[in-house]
Amino acid sequence: MRPHSRHPRAASPRPGFTLVEMLLAIVVFAVGVLGLAGTSTIIMRQMNAAQQQSQAATQAQARIDSLAGISCAMLADGGAMHRGIRHRWTIERTPNAAPFSSARIADTVTWVTRGEAKRQVYTTRIAC
């Protein structure tokens, strides 16, 4: 038998990670995932707002196109509501000036995004 030495042999280092390193890695990973989740929520809100603004612009363009197809004598101020988007248009005629007269059409479009009313005015001028 061998006699026991006074100094125990040092444990050989084992490959792998310590518990502290693993916990730290999990915390860093969790913070990153929470950051991504918060960013994706903001992006979804912005995309929704952009989609509503795009719908409002498309509807305003359609409204202006339909008004441009009407005789200037028949044009009148008005309003409408379509898919939660409110339109209010005004017609402003210019005096008969040589060689032609014109009318200015202004379509004020209002919609609600996240409880906040948004408003955009689209204008054009048509020949009468």
Residues listed for the chain? 128
pLDDT, residue 94, reads 79
Instruction: Give the torsion through C-alpha atoms of 68, 94, 74, 61, to 10 deg.
Output: 20
Chain position carrying tokens 């060689």: 99
What is the per-residue pLDDT across 97-115, written as a single tens digit (0 to 9) for each? 656 688 899 999 998 888 8
Question: In 10 A of CB 64, how many CB atoms?
Answer: 19
Domain boundaries, the chain: 19-127
* pTM to 2 decimal places: 0.64
Of residues 63 and 101, the one with the higher pLDDT is 63
